[in-house]
Amino acid sequence: MHRESADTVPQGPNQPCPSSTKSHVAARQSLSDHAVGTDPPAGRTGQRQNRGMRTRLGCLSHKSDSYNDFTAILPDKPNRALKRLSTEEATRWADSFDVLLSHKYGLAAFRAFLKTEFSEENLEFWLACEDFKKTRSAAKLAAKAQRIFEEFIDVQAPREVNIDFQTRELTRRNVQEPSLSCFDQAQGKVHSLMEKDSYPRFLRSKIYTDLLSQTQRRLS
């Protein structure tokens, strides 16, 4: 009995698609190595590896963008959430970006959408800043500021957000003597980016339109 290759992705009706960016990068790297002439493993093992790589790339290229993505990360159980969410509330999410962010289920739906675009770090940073501004302990302020900077702002941070050099350097200086407002400029830039770029696409997404349909169907 032969051993399955570590890169093989078994195929079956219930096999989920890998969704992490690391898997995406690894798959692209494997494809790149093959393209420049790296010899693939011989025989059946090589065929299995190539099938696994194609499966991973196929899953990543087909972005999941539906009502089911929303229900998967709801703060409440899906049935309970849909009973509590009215069509009027969901429709109001289109009134403004801040209305969307202020609603528990709107926030969950927007987060689900950003995950399909691999850009959820923008929302996570904005939420981290909102939480940071609630800090009342001076002893915790510096540690929390440094943690947020290292996770979202610093060059090559694990979840680096897209801000300009000047804003990054200003924030770096602010963190040296932290205050509750030290991330205000960076947070504002990220908020504006989401509002102008991601928010309009969210309103056109299947996650949002399917959700509206579900609330309307419940009333019919």
Question: What is the tens place of the pLDDT at every residue in 134-163?
Answer: 999 988 999 999 999 999 999 999 999 999
166 assigned to some structural domain: yes
pLDDT attached to residue 84: 74
pLDDT attached to residue 45: 45
Listed residue (103, 122, 106) closest to 202, CA to CA? 106
135 assigned to some structural domain: yes
Domain CATH for 129: 1.10.167.10
172 assigned to some structural domain: yes
96 assigned to some structural domain: yes
36 assigned to some structural domain: no
Question: What is the tens place of the pLDDT at every residue in 71-99?
Answer: 554 545 555 556 678 899 999 999 999 99
138 assigned to some structural domain: yes
Residue 133: give the domain boundaries: 70-217
pLDDT attached to residue 116: 93
Question: What is the tens place of the pLDDT at every residue in 175-210?
Answer: 999 999 999 999 999 999 999 999 999 999 999 998
Count how many domains the chain has: 1
Map tokens 């800043």 to a residue.
129
What's the mean per-residue pLDDT of the chain?
Answer: 75
